[in-house]
Structures are given as C-alpha cells and as structure tokens.
Amino acid sequence: MGQGMSGLLALLDDVAAIAKVAAASIDDIAAAAAKAGTKAAGVVIDDAAVTPKYVHGFSADRELPIIWRIALGSLKNKLIILLPGLLALDYFAPWAITPLLMLGGAYLCFEGAEKLVHALAPHADEGVEADFDTKDPTHLEEEKVAGAIKTDFILSAEIMTIALATIESPSFWMQAATLAVVGTFITVAVYGAVALIVKMDDVGLHLAAKGRTSGGRALGRGLVKGMPKLMAFLSTVGTAAMLWVGGNIVIHGLEVTHLWAWPYTTIHHIAEAVAHAVPVAQGFVEWLVTAALDGVFGLILGVILIPVATRVIGPLWAAVTGKKAAAH
C-alpha cells in the first residue's frame, strides 16, 4: 500500500511537473505572441483602416456577412498558407526572409504614397486614378470579398513575417504556436474592430430614432455625425502607418543585409541627438523622430515606385495573366 501510495504521489508529482512545464510554455507563447503582435502593430492599424472600404455600397444587412467572409479568408491566409510557408522558408532558406520583408515593405510604401498622391492631386496621374476607381457599388459581392482577401494576404504576410522575425525561441513548435496565436488574435481584433466601426452608424441611427432618453438620442446623433470623421481619421492613420512601417522595414533590411547602412545610421543618430536635447520623455521622442523619418523615407521610396508599378509592373502583369491590372 505504501509503495502504491508513493508510486501515485510520484505520478502526481510528474503530472504536476509536466503541467508546470506546459504552463510555462503557454506563458512563453503568450509573451512571444504579445511581443510579436506589438512589433506588427503598424501593419495591423493599416489592416483595420483598409478593410471598411470593402463593405461600402452594400446594404446594411450584407455588411457583417461580408466582414465575416473576409475575416475567414484572412484566417485561412495566415494559418493555412502563410504559417507553414513561412516556417518552411525559415527552416530551408532563412536568408530569404529579410528580402521578402523588404519587398513587402516597399509595397506598403508604394500603397501609402499612392494614397497620398491621390488625396493631394486626385486627377494628376491616370494610373493612380484607375487604381482608386471604386467601380459600380452594385458590383458583385464575390469580387469585393476576393479583392479584400488579396489585400489582406499582403498585409497578413507582413504581420506574420514580422512576428516570425521577433520570435526568439529556436523550437519549431514554439514558433508555430506563437504564429498561430498572433495570427488568430490579430484577425479577431482587426475584424472585430472593423465590424464595430461599420455598424456603429446603424447603432447611432437606432439610438437617435428610438432612444428612450434625450441623452441616448443625443449619443445616437453624435455617433452618426462622428463616424465619417472616425473613418477619415482611420484612413489617415492607415496611410501614415503604411509609410512608417514600410520605410522602417526597408531601412532595417538595407542595414541588416549590408546593402546600404547610411539611412539606418543617419536616422538613428538624428533621433538620438533630438532625444538628448529634450529634458523629458527621451525614449518616446527618439521613437517619434525615428518613426517620422522612417515615414519620410517610405514616402520618397513610394513616390519613386508609383511610375514603376503603374507603368512597368502593372502592364507586365496584365500581359502575363491576360487580365487588366486590378485595383487594390
């Protein structure tokens, strides 16, 4: 009996030890996911800012089903295509991660610069104008959803690659679990926020018309009036995030690959000098100056890439695929 009891206690002790290791692993995954998710925050902001345009022009009862379909497509992008693809790339060709990141960063710079050019001079460039053609609002839902999922794929690739580059654990399963957590959490957060934003004006209309108190009705009117401003603000934040994140990725990649370290070292020195010149919040000031200069670099690169994309890559892609270059 004593031996049986001691055996049972030993087993329980082993179970407790295993549970402890498992709990520590979960903590590690959560910590790694939080760190990786924070690094990808700029692209996430852009993802949230880009998506609402895809439900514009549809009836209110179709908005949430469309967002759900895009969110499902986003989750498939991250977990079924990108997660195994990136892990395989990291194992067999880790040298390719940074160039791919830089390619994605350059694309974000192009997108951000294109948005800015369109906002400042809407009819200055026919290629840019065609890219921003929203087409007939009665266009098929399928086409809108497919376009959104394609855009999401590029943003998701950036998010997952940034996340993978941030994970410090050499364990394959730790990397896989962290990427899965990051991908799932970001998808839920982004599309949950998008659904909330898109439906907020409907909530406002309902409160304004049927609110039981004058305060409730006033809140409803405030929501209806405020949502267009929020959408405009999100669009501005999204564009800034594209340029900042894209510029940062390209600059860091140029430094890491030893192709051109000057932008990275120059921005770093300027940010340090400005931070030392102020008496408070030096860390924040250094980050702000770095982000602003990364954004300026991203804008310059994006403006250079606009004619390359619209007049060289676009037509070539159309010639290869036999389709008209699609707007994104």
**Tell me: the pLDDT tens digits for 113-143?**
988 888 887 666 555 555 555 555 555 567 7
Ranked by mean pLDDT, the top range of 40-44, 186-190, 202-206, 248-252 is 248-252
Averaged pLDDT for residues 229-243: 79
Judge whether residue 299 has pLDDT over 60: yes
CA distance 59 to 56: 9
Grade residue 15 by pLDDT with cuts at 50, 70 and 90: very low
- Summarize pLDDT for 181-197 with one digit per residue, the tens: 888 888 888 788 777 77
134: nearest Cα among 52, 257, 223:
52
User: pLDDT value at position 59?
Assistant: 60
* Terminal alpha carbon distance of the chain: 73
More confident of the two residues 95 and 67? 95
Give the pLDDT confidence score for residue 43 in this predicted structure. 58
Average pLDDT over residues 269-296: 92
Residue 109 exposed, middle or buried by CB count within 10 Å (0-12, 13-18, 19+): buried
Provide mean pLDDT across the span 289-306: 95
pLDDT at 83: 92
Distance (Å, whole) CA 111 – CA 246? 9
Q: What is the pLDDT of residue 290?
A: 94
CB atoms within 10 A of CB 69: 18
State residue 25's pLDDT score: 47
Please name the residues in contact with 29: beta carbons below 8 A apart, sequence gap of 6 or more.
174, 177, 178, 181
pLDDT at 189: 81
Q: Is it the case that residue 32 has pLDDT exceeding 60?
A: no
Lowest mean pLDDT segment, chosen from 21-25, 157-161, 215-219, 282-286? 21-25
Nearest-angstrom CA–CA distance, 120 and 18: 60
Q: Judge whether residue 267 has pLDDT over 90.
A: yes
How many percent of the chain have pLDDT more than 70?
72
pLDDT digits (tens, 9 = 90+) for 48-91: 555 555 555 556 666 777 778 888 988 998 899 999 998 998 88
pLDDT number for residue 14? 47
The pLDDT value recorded for residue 3 is 47
More confident residue, 295 or 175: 295
Predicted local confidence at residue 105, as pLDDT = 86
Instruction: Tell me how far the alpha carbon of residue 313 is from its chain's centroid.
Output: 24
How far CA 133 is from CA of 71, 106, 253, 287, 327, in Å, comes to 24, 22, 33, 36, 7
Q: Which residues contact 137 (CB under 8 A, 6 or more apart)?
A: 56, 57, 58
Residue 158 or residue 117, greater confidence: 117
3-state secondary structure of 33: helix
Round the average pLDDT of the chain to a whole number and report it. 76
pLDDT of res. 291: 92
Cβ–Cβ contacts within 10 Å for residue 173, how many? 10
